[in-house]
Every structure is written in structure tokens, then in C-alpha cells.
Amino acid sequence: MSLTDVRRKTPPLRLDLAQAAGLHDEELVRRILDGQTPLFEVLMRRHNERLYRAARAVLRDDAEAEDVMQQAYVNAYAHLSQFDGQAAFATWLTRIAVHEALSRLRRRQRLVFGHGDIEEQPMPLPSSSDPERQAMTRELGGLLEAAIEQLPDGSREVFVLRAVQGLSTADTAASLDISEDAVKTRFSRARAMLRRDLAERAGIMAPTVFAFPQPRCDRVVSAVFARIL
């Protein structure tokens, strides 16, 4: 049964956000299209970090990455009925964010895979109850982020989606609109450019870098709802 056929069914009972948190993306989309707009918050909170990491990998700018996220969500909401379920919703959403980020690069009159010096802005990392461990985590995370920032355009985006976000080769290719072979080549190139000891740390620290903490998540959710409601 296609997603369109599912949408034709009787509208589901309304759920609060806590109840909706356990639903799959596709079911949330169906309910939102049936008029339960507040459930869009569940989708945003679920995918905020993924979209932020993808947008920042392209733009290398915190504030602009947040702007891209907001616009991507607005675009996704406006075209939600076009989501046909052929790809995972997360992939569909990430592709929208990546395209918006690349559009911003073009508007800056840069080549998509050009070069430029951009000031590094360290990202906040999750807190820890152990001050010594927190300091070490922040130091290693900052080192890894700086090393990733130095990867060339094209390889950097692939590395962030594959190693930091944990996407598969297929999902990365779909998100960036490139072939799986290109993903494999660029990912291999990125890993080779990182020093061996840093690459070893990357396996431990990757899940914590370019984090998207709760206050920023709240800000994006509020800003998007202000635009779509």
C-alpha cells in the first residue's frame, strides 16, 4: 500500500507529543497531513542534530547552519504532501537541507567545491559530571572538529554524514545526490587525510562532535513554528 493510499484512511486519533515520540517518521507525516500540525515538533527534534551536522559540513558556519535548518523545515512542511515514502523520511529531509546549504554557497558566488578560509568556531559538547573527563572530552572534540574542518569540500560533507552522523553509504549518497562510489572514494580520501592517531580518536569522539544541545533545538523548533503556523 502506498503512502497516498494510507493517507486516505480515516484520520487517526490525536496524540500528545509524548505519545507521538514513539511513532515512526512516516506515521508522523501521515498524522501531520491529517491536521495534527503540532506533531511536526517531534520530527524536528528527532532530526535536528542530523540536519545541523549536514548543513554545517557544507557551510562551516554555526549561525548559517541554523538558518538552513529552519528554511529546510519550512520547505519540508510546505511540501510534506510530496513525500512519497520511496526513501526514508530522514534522507528526504537531509537532502532538502543539503540543497538549501549548497544554494547558500552559490549565492555567496562560490563554487560548491571551492576553497576559502573560514574562521573556526568550536561547538559546545555535552556536559559531564566528571570535570576531568569533561575537559578531556572538550579538548579531543575540539581537535577532531578542527581536523574535520580542514578536509576539502566534498570529502568533508561525506565524512560528517558517514563517520559523525553514522549514515550508510547509500543514505549518504542519497542525501548528497552523488553516487555510492563517489561516497566511498571521498570517505576513504577523508580518512587518509586525517592522521592515524586522530582517526583513532574519531571513532570514540565522533558521536559527540558538532552536537546540537537542547537550547538550540528549542530555538529552531520555536522559529519554525512561528513561520508555519
Q: What is the pLDDT of residue 131?
A: 59
Averaged over successive runs of 10 residues, the pLDDT of the chain (229 residues) comes to: 48 68 92 94 94 92 93 96 91 93 75 38 40 58 78 90 89 91 93 67 64 88 91
Residue 77: inside a domain? yes
Q: How buried is residue 225: exposed, middle or buried, by Cβ count under 10 Å (0-12/13-18/19+)? A: middle
Its pTM stands at 0.68
Q: What is the pLDDT of residue 112?
A: 39
Question: Within 10 Å of residue 214's Cβ, how many Cβ atoms?
Answer: 9
Statement to judge: residues 150 and 107 lie in one domain: no
Q: Identify the domain containing residue 155 by its residue range.
A: 131-208
Statement to judge: residues 25 and 79 lie in one domain: yes
Q: Which of 113, 140, 138 is nearest to 199 (CA)?
A: 140
C-alpha cell at 116: 576559502
Residue 31: inside a domain? yes
Q: What is the pLDDT of residue 13?
A: 60
Residue 202: inside a domain? yes
Statement to judge: residues 105 and 29 lie in one domain: yes
Q: What is the pLDDT of residue 39?
A: 94
Residue 3: inside a domain? no
Would you put residue 160 in left (φ > 0), alpha (ψ -120 to 50) or beta?
alpha
Statement to judge: residues 77 and 187 lie in one domain: no
Name the domain count of the chain. 2
Residue 125: inside a domain? no
Q: What is the pLDDT of residue 11?
A: 52
Q: What is the pLDDT of residue 165?
A: 86
